Amino acid sequence: MFLQRASVLLIVLGFALFTFVMAGPRAGLLVLVGLGFGLVLEGLRFGFAGPWRMIVTDRDGRGLIAQLIAIGLVAVVAFPLLAANPGELVAAHAPVGIGMILGAFIFGAAMQLVMGCGSGTLVNAGSGNLVGLIALAGFIGGSFAGTLHLGWWTSLGSLPVLSFQGMFGDMGGLGLTLAGLAIVGAVTFLRSAPGKRMPPRRLWIAAALIAALSLANLVIAGQPWGIVYGLGLWGAKIAQAGGADLATTAFWAAEGNAARLSASILTDVTSLTNIGLLIGAFAVMRWRADPGAQTQALTPISYGAVLVAALVLGYSARMAFGCNVGAFFSGISTGSLHGWVWLVAAFAGSMLGIRLRPVLLRPRVTGGAYA
């Protein structure tokens, strides 16, 4: 056990040092932030897709309320930070449109079929979960494919980018954001069964740590915590390595995207935190004396369904300008109207996905018993 844990520490610290040397202090710090996300999400069991399912199926609102607490903590600090540093820090704002709403709805359904959202897919893959590994491969491919068609989806019609700061001022926007979170929290509390309303100590700690890490990400990267762009970039690099000419595509021909595509992956801030998150989840799982059982083995057809759902998950995340992290968590905490619309559409889709789970995800039966 000692050798196993020593190996884990060596891997974690070694990669962080490697990034410091190869890409500089900023990149190294972002890897450490990503490691923190992985340690908290896996170590303290803080998630996004699971709590959305639990409030529907078990009337358990503790996980969702913990999410709202974390978002509120970030908003209290992020709103003044953004106002004081308009040239250095950017918010997670995106336009509300037809394609975006449809994408969020589809994303909500698909995440229940792959047993995780964007961050959950990384956590599951990092911990060695087979469903998570399949889902990560699909998400990368789907997110890249989504970049190729994003212009068409946005052409269906969308509003200008609207923010609470722009509509109500910095303090007014913060007040309305906190009020909105309180209303959603109150509805969740009333919906929850007795004994399943207030988060346990573990989730309070996790919410505070996730908020602190998110703010560190904002300050170091200059932008809020995100997942989807990095995975799409990985897909683009794989496609380019396979001979694809992405200079002819509108998304990857854009100046900023073209620069990231031609540069090392260690220069992309979202990729750095994604990699750190993967390693952090891996470290937690390998650190435990008893990692626990993996998810139940599925039938081959169900694994195929996971792969298809993961492709759809990645594609729809690009349509919707983000996942539970970039759109919901970071969007709302930095004043985006898009984040609130995303929440409604994705939660509706999640309810559909919950109904589809028992139909599409079937456990493998061996020897007359479930595997």
Characterize 221-242 residue by residue with b for buried, 16 or more Cβ atoms within 10 angstroms of its Cβ, and e for exposed.
bebbbbbbbbbbbbbbbebeee
Alpha-carbon distance 42 to 348, whole Å?
A: 26
Task: Read off the amino acid at residue 187.
Answer: V
Q: Nearest 10 degrees: CA dihedral of 18, 20, 21, 22? A: 80
- The Cα–Cα gap between 259 and 182 comes to 41
Determine contact, residues 227/326, Cβ cutoff 8 Å: yes
Q: Is there a contact between 102 and 319 (Cβ–Cβ < 8 Å)?
A: yes
Q: Give residue 370's pLDDT.
A: 37
pLDDT recorded at residue 327: 97
Note whether 285 and 127 are within 8 A (CB): yes
With contact defined as beta carbons under 8 Å apart, do 94 and 331 qualify?
Answer: yes
DSSP designation for 161: P
- Rounded Cα distance between 319 and 103, Å, is 5
Q: How far apart are CA 140 and CA 320, in angstroms?
A: 15
Helix (H, G, I), strand (E, B) or coil at 363: strand
Structure confidence at residue 297 (pLDDT): 85
Whole-angstrom CA distances from 155 to 177, 252, 319 are: 29, 18, 11
pTM > 0.85: yes or no:
yes
Taken as a whole, the chain contains a residue count of 371
Q: Would you put residue 92 in left (φ > 0), alpha (ψ -120 to 50) or beta? A: beta
Which segments of the chain have a pLDDT < 50?
368-371
Q: How much is the pLDDT for 173? A: 97
What pLDDT, on a 0 to 100 scale, did the predictor assign at position 369? 40
Residue 366 carries which DSSP code? E
Please give the pLDDT value at position 272.
Answer: 97
For residue 158, list its beta bridge partners. Answer: 97
Residue 160 tokens read as 């200008």
